[in-house]
C-alpha cells in the first residue's frame, strides 16, 4: 500500500488531494497547523478504509519542523510520495514590505520545503527511491505588480526543485513540480492578500488534486519534471 505525505492538508488543494489519494488507495500522512481540522479530516478519510496519521505542525516555525516530521513518521508509515503543498501569499510593493512579512513568506513557501526535503529524503533513499512533488505557481516565471515577494518565493522553489532532482536522481528519487495558475482556495481570503480577481474564473482545487494524483501515478521509470495547469481565461 503506497503512502503519501501532504503538507497543508486541512484545506484547499491539500484537502482535495488527501481525498483523491485516499480514494486511489494511498495511506496518508497529513500535516497542517490546525490540529482540530486535522482530526476531523482524519476521521472523514479513515471512513474510506485507508490508514491516516496526522500531526499539527506549523511550518512557519522552523524549529518545530524536524521534530514534528519525525513524530509523524514514527507511527509505522513511511512516505513514498511527498507533496509540498503548504504555502502563503501576501501582496504589496517590495520597497514597502515589512521584513517580517518577507521572511514569513520565504519561510513557508521555500525554506519549509527545504526542511521537509532534508528530513524526508533520507527516508526515501532508505526505501530505494520515491517522488517529491512541489506545488508551485506560474508566478515563478512571471512578474506581477504587488506580487513580487510571492513571485520570488516561487521562482526560488522552481530552482530548488530542479537542483534537488539532479542531486537525488542517483538515489531513485524523482522530483516534479506542479505549476498552477490561480486556484480558487482559501488563500484569497487571507488577511495578507488584497486582490480583485474573478474567483469563478480560477481553477478548482479538485482539478489541481487530479493533477497531483496523475504525477504520483507515473511509473518509477519516468518523471514529469513540470506540469503546468492554467485557467482557460489565462493568468487573470
Q: How far is CA 32 from CA 4, 50, 163, 181, in A?
A: 14, 19, 26, 23
* 85 closest CA partner among 118, 132, 121: 132
Q: Establish whether 214 is a catalytic residue.
A: no
Residue 4: strand pairing partners: 28, 81
Q: In this structure, are residues 18 and 3 in contact, taking their beta carbons and an 8 Å threshold?
A: no
Catalytic residue among 116, 150, 176, 181: 150
The full 3-state SS of 63-130, as one line of letters, equals HHHHHHHHHHHHHCCCCCEEEECCCCCCCCCHHHCCHHHHHHHHHHHHHHHHHHHHHHHHHHHHCCCE
| Per-residue DSSP letter, 183 | B
Residue 178: strand pairing partners: 135, 227
Catalytic residues: 150
Amino acid at each position: 500500500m503506497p503512502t503519501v505525505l501532504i503538507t497543508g492538508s486541512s484545506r484547499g488543494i491539500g484537502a482535495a488531494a488527501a481525498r483523491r489519494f485516499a480514494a486511489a488507495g494511498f495511506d496518508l500522512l497529513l500535516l497542517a497547523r490546525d490540529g482540530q481540522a486535522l482530526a476531523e479530516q482524519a476521521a472523514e478519510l479513515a471512513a474510506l478504509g485507508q490508514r491516516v496519521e496526522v500531526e499539527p505542525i506549523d511550518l512557519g516555525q522552523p524549529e518545530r519542523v524536524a521534530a514534528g516530521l519525525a513524530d509523524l513518521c514514527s507511527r509505522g508509515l513511511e512516505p513514498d510520495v511527498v507533496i509540498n503543498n503548504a504555502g502563503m501569499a501576501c501582496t504589496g510593493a517590495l520597497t514597502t514590505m515589512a521584513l517580517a512579512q518577507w521572511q514569513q513568506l520565504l519561510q513557508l513557501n521555500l525554506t519549509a520545503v527545504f526542511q521537509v526535503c532534508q528530513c524526508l529524503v533520507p527516508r526515501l533513499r532508505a526505501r530505494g527511491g520515491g517522488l517529491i512533488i512541489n506545488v508551485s505557481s506560474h508566478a515563478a516565471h512571471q512578474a506581477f505588480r504587488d506580487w513580487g515577494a510571492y513571485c520570488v518565493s516561487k521562482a526560488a522553489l522552481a530552482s530548488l526543485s530542479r537542483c534537488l532532482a539532479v542531486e537525488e536522481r542517483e538515489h531513485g528519487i524523482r522530483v516534479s513540480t506542479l505549476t498552477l495558475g490561480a486556484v480558487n482556495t482559501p488563500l484569497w481570503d487571507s488577511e495578507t492578500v488584497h486582490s480583485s480577481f474573478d474567483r469563478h474564473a480560477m481553477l478548482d482545487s479538485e482539478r489541481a488534486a487530479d493533477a497531483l494524483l496523475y504525477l504520483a501515478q507515473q511509473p518509477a521509470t519516468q518523471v514529469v519534471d513540470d506540469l503546468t495547469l492554467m485557467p482557460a481565461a489565462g493568468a487573470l
